Amino acid sequence: MPVLRAIIGTTIGVLLATFTVGCAGDGPAPGTGPGGEFAAIQNEIFTPSCISSSCHSSGTQAGGLSLAASESYDALVGVVPVNPTAAERGLLLVAPEDVSASFLVNKVNGDLGDGEGLVMPLGAPLLTPDQIAMIEIWIENGALPPTSD
């Protein structure tokens, strides 16, 4: 009997540990709940990688796009790109819940057709797969606006 109890106890412990580990990756990471995803994208991607004096700042707006914190959401979501080829294809800069119709994703992952320009960010290190996934998840989840603090 003591051996059976030990086996049952060990089995239950292993199952609980498995379920706990399996659930650890579910749900949003801290600070990335509804609206938090965009704040993380702004802080971790747009601000350090896309805003410079010659790129997507408020002043220069390369490609007609400002990614400055106070302007980026409205400049991206539901907006037709100024790139005529992308616009003709029916893409939006960000199409909520539709990664494949979001030109921003094509620009950062390099999935560009003739006439759609260059992979971004230009002149800076390319985004990592995790950074691209962060953008894709935000779009898949509806491209919610940033939360106000």
Nearest Cα to Cα of residue 149 among 28, 43, 58: 43
Q: Could you tell me the mean pLDDT of each successive run of 10 residues in the chain, 149 residues long?
A: 47 38 42 69 91 81 87 96 97 97 97 95 92 96 85
Residue 77, helix vs strand vs coil = strand
| Rounded distance between C-alpha atoms, residue 127 and residue 48, angstroms | 11
The answer to whether residues 34 and 40 touch, using CB atoms and an 8 Å cutoff, is no
Tokens coding 16:
């609980």
| Rounded distance between C-alpha atoms, residue 25 and residue 37, angstroms | 16
CB atoms within 10 A of CB 90: 9
